Amino acid sequence: MERAGCVLCSPSPPGKPQWQATFPGDQTFAYVRCPGCGLVYLNPRPGGEEILGYYNRDYYGEGEKKFGAWIEAPRLYFAGKRARRVGRFLPRKGRVLDVGCGQGTFLQLLRREGWEVQGTELAEEPARRARQAGIPVFLGEVQEGQFGEGTLDLVTLWHVVEHLRDPVGILRRISPMVGKKGLVAISTPNVESMQARVFRERWFHLDPPRHLYLFSPETLDRLMAQAGFRMFYLNHFSMEQNPYGWVQSALNRLAFPQGALYSFLKTQPGRKRLENLPLLGKMLLLSAALLLPSVLISLLMAWSGEGGTLEAYFVKEG
């Protein structure tokens, strides 16, 4: 484990205790809040090598897909909606980089619409799947000048920024490669959301120790300003993430094993682990009952600006 500080404040004031969250396997991690800017971060946190142990095969999914076919279909549908949304903000289809592109689902959709696509990914297995689909993927973190100065029209980081050890450093590296009027799109859990406030350490999106940072609209804006970007659009509603976030957080609170539904929805390994769970039937019934209320409350929270996840668009300043 190593000590962490606030990446947005310099010097970084000592963080105030926020939540003690338990990783499946009974390991406890502490999230603290920076009294200077409100950023919530994991402290202490596993070191660079150590954290790889928390991204096991279950996390990425075995075989061809992360989830079973009945979950892949809606995921594809929502990725398609996101692809059309990013297209609305740019006058022409250009060159896109998806940081943490996974198996390349989103990039395949953009390529179909005429974009020139490329991705980076830390994990070999999803990168291999993306390459099989003909997507150019660079293994590892974004390097300085890797894609040429001012050559990118769009950079996307879908649920990636909360995983980065040095988000300011990476975004500053990305910034010079983004062209004039180029955009960066980011989605991430919202630590100021109603979900987070109601469920606290049981909130599904905590995901320690993989989520090193938990942003709010303000801290996300501050992060991007340090890399030379200005927020121009913020969306609090994600049908892909938010209703599910309510259901899973409620199950966590009702003392089902942490993240049990999520494990169940994943392919074979997750389901196998739950075969002996006597509460499985009860959990699935309860999930079904919670689904409609969760959609309704997600709509309400998006409307009041307290959605469980944020999808924000930034334009390069200057």
What is the three-class DSSP state of 215?
A: strand
Contact 40, 55 (CB under 8 A): no
H/E run at residue 127: helix 124-132
Q: Does 32 bind Zn ion (CB under 5 A)?
A: no
Dihedral pair phi/psi, residue 293, rounded to 5° = -55, -35
Q: How far is the CB of 10 from Zn ion (least distance, A)?
A: 9
Taking each helix axis from N to C end, the angle separating 105-112 and 69-88, rounded to the nearest 10 degrees, works out to 50
Stretch that binds Zn ion, among 1-9, 198-206, 229-237, 259-267 (CB under 5 A): 1-9
Q: Does 36 bind Zn ion (CB under 5 A)?
A: yes
How would you label 302-314 residue by residue, b for 16+ Cβ within 10 Å and e otherwise?
Answer: beeebbbbbbbbb
Stretch that binds Zn ion, among 32-40, 82-90, 162-170, 281-289 (CB under 5 A): 32-40
Residue with tokens 């940072």: 213
Amino acid letter, 206: L
Q: How far is the CB of 134 from Zn ion (least distance, A)?
A: 42
Q: Does 185 bind Zn ion (CB under 5 A)?
A: no
x/- contact string, 207-226, with Zn ion (CB under 5 A)? --------------------
Q: Does 34 bind Zn ion (CB under 5 A)?
A: yes
Structure tokens at 246: 């309510």
Backbone region of residue 259 per phi and psi (left: phi > 0; alpha: psi in -120 to 50; beta: other values): left
Stretch that binds Zn ion, among 33-41, 73-81, 102-110, 138-146 (CB under 5 A): 33-41
Nearer to Zn ion, 34 or 301 (CB): 34
Stretch that binds Zn ion, among 16-24, 26-34, 84-92, 133-141 (CB under 5 A): 26-34
Q: Which residues of the shown chain bind Zn ion in the complex (CB under 5 A)?
A: 6, 8-9, 34, 36-37, 39
